[in-house]
Amino acid sequence: TMLESNEKSLNLIWIFIMLVQSCHVLSLEIIFGGDISFHGPIEYHLLKEDCSFNRPFVEVKKLFRRVDNTVINLETTLGELKRLDKFRNDDKLITFLSDPKSVKGLRNSHITAVTVANNHFLDYGEIGANSTIRFIRQEGLKISGLSYGKEHPKPQEPVVFEKDGVRVCLLSYCFNKDGCTELRNMSHTGQALFINFQKVLEEIDGTRKKYSPTSIIVYLHQGMEYRILSGMQKQQKELFDKLAGHVDVVVESHTHVTSGHFYHNKTLFTGQLGNLLFPLHSPVVLDFDDQSEKKKKEMDDKWFKISRRWSNPSVKSKLVKLSFDRNGLIPIKSRYMYAFNKVDKHRCMYIKPSKKGWRKICAKGDQSCEGTSDCSMLQCKT
């Protein structure tokens, strides 16, 4: 009968739905990017309205919107120069300050969290750090790598990403002398430091006990600037050997260039992610903010000419897309993609993703892979 036929059809539909649901693995996806700063010529053209604060991210926004969260290293203080200039750390050769409106550009591009555990968070002291925190939180972004207290900072609170029973905790640390360890004990508010591994391990264990995460990620700001090798350096091997096995993923930044990724003791080390959006290093941008408008124009002209023909490794960055389920990181779904700092005819800097798209991390033929779970770089390339 017609009724029986309809019942059979409904049963078939229900069975199909159940099969689809059983095949669907609940997962949480996160993209990690490298260093971002709007300092100097980048901000100069944003404030002149040659381009909007959304312009730098137009071509990567679609990538970020397809995942649950995107995390970057915000390597700048946020605030107004006239208010913060007197708090500037004059002992530092390079200090970064960006307009607070830049955070709207991050938010609009679906960047959901930033790490401030880097060597520029305290460029303008504790006042600058608190200013940065305020503007980030006003836009609803999460902050990783914060710690409070001078001589004995309290453990940082992890950033927690959660979806469908999958919970991932992010802890961020700075392992750098200039701007981190030298300045941290002068400020109540500052970045979390990676100077005592036992304390870091206690923080990791404390996070595991308190939040029961399916995975823990450490975003580590460390390395020698402009050194292309990371894991191959002897001192880094010792550091990586300590972290391996305690966390699922270690993300790296600071060197302003990219480096290879590898697995060690089942922990994924992404390698250095490089400059996601950063004023190309050139003497003409170091003291840009202090100049007259005429001088800024001259410096910008020089910067533009250099930037248009610059092809060194500092223009390249690496995006890493990771998937997690209730059992932890899903290695077969781990991907990476290269991106590049470009400058358009309006002198606006933007991020250009590689046309090659996402590549599987440490798949056969992956030239950026320094080792796998079976043969890590610590074992195979010494």
Range of the domain at 353: 26-371
- Our count of domains for the chain comes to 1
What pLDDT does 81 receive? 85
Assigned domain for 275 exists: yes
Say which DSSP state 87 is in: G
pLDDT digits (tens, 9 = 90+) for 143-182: 999 999 987 889 999 999 999 999 999 999 998 877 788 8
Residue 16 resides in a domain: no
Model-wide pTM > 0.85: yes
Q: Residue 312: inside a domain, yes or no? A: yes
Assign 82 to helix, strand or coil. Answer: helix
Q: Is there a contact between 139 and 184 (Cβ–Cβ < 8 Å)? A: no
366 in any annotated domain: yes
User: Is there a domain that residue 376 lies in?
Assistant: no
Say what the pLDDT of residue 195 is. 87
Is residue 142 domain-resident?
A: yes
Q: Model confidence over 46-67: pLDDT tens digits?
A: 989 999 999 999 999 999 999 9
- Residue 234 pLDDT: 54
Q: Give me the CATH number covering residue 182.
A: 3.60.21.10
Mean pLDDT computed over 336-363: 94
Q: Is residue 21 part of a domain?
A: no
The pLDDT, as a whole number, for residue 67 is 98
Neighbours of 144 (CB within 10 A): 26
Residue 89 counted as domain residue: yes
* Sheet bearing 215-222, strands edge to edge: 159-163, 166-175, 215-222, 249-253, 267-272, 261-264, 369-371
| pLDDT tens per residue, range 81-121 | 889 989 998 888 888 999 999 999 999 999 999 999 999 99
For 64-85, what is each residue's pLDDT tens digit?
999 999 999 999 999 998 899 8
